[in-house]
Amino acid sequence: MKVVRSKHAGACYGVQRALDLALKSVADGGRAYTLGPLIHNPQVVEKLSDQGVTEVSAIEDAERGSAVVIRSHGVTPQVMRAVAAAGNAVVDATCPHVARAQKAAADMARRLGSVVVVGEAGHPEVEGIVACARESTERVYAVTSPSEVPEDIEAPVGVVVQTTQQKDKLDEIVSHLRALGIEPEVKNTICFATSQRQDAAADLSEQVDAIVVIGGRNSSNTTRLFDICAAQCERTFHIESAAELDESWFSGVGAVGVTAGASTPEDQIAEVVARLERM
């Protein structure tokens, strides 16, 4: 069975930066904490815990005076201020692309008064972007479809987008606003690495008999990669580790593709590729 790896797959710059900052914060043998998982990859989060970087759900659960690493998805401004107020050192590992979306949302909120965030309500990245805008206005809406846009929304309106969303989703929302007679100010804050991975995965899924998508099941960008591949290739499998691979999945398969979400490090990809090559 031929194994074909996607041209663009695996850990992006923002994820690698977050990992490097987290490990640097415990390089002298100390402990550090993250509010929620540093990245959406359970295996990596477990390894970080073994190295002294502990995930907590509340600021008060972090040892006073210790380093608190802000996860790659970012946090709300209120949380950032609370960490500093609690006497902890802030290690800001927010992905620069997420920080750009937060800044754009805050700027539009101040200037325009209404902001549409194209993204999944409740996702930590989206929560942070929405909260940055709500420092200036309450008219902030997280939406994933035109039906979620308030019917009474009024111009002027700014639009930003979750960094891991698909461009088609952004275009759909913008078209809907224009149909309502609103010409929005749009900041396309989709990460280039996300677009690269999505385009490469779509291309690969048309060339193989099966495709394996590697990444955390709580990772939105990995889930989106799976959806893109599944639309083209019936035998698409989402796994978190090589241990989940089942040889029966690949009966009669001549070529299998491999792609991975932006929170998947190289060693996890290599392990999956090696196991597939042995089948």
Beta partners for residue 239, in sequence order: 214
Q: What tokens were used for 154?
A: 């009024």
Q: At what angle do helices 220-230 and 192-205 cross, to 10 degrees?
A: 30
Residues whose CB is less than 8 angstroms from the CB of residue 208 and which lie 6 or more positions away in sequence, other chains included: 4, 233, 255, 256, 257
Q: List phi, psi (to 5°) of 84.
A: -65, -40
* Sign, CA torsion 142/192/188/19: positive
Number of helical (H) and strand (E) elements in the chain, helices listed first: 9, 12
Whether residue 125 lies in the annotated active site: yes
Residues 15, 3: Cα–Cα separation, whole Å = 26
Q: Which of 60, 63, 125, 138 is catalytic?
A: 125
Q: What tokens were used for 128?
A: 């942070």
Q: List phi, psi (to 5°) of 198.
A: -65, -45
Q: What tokens were used for 245?
A: 């691979």
Beta partners for residue 237, in sequence order: 212
Indicate which residues carry an active-site annotation.
Answer: 125
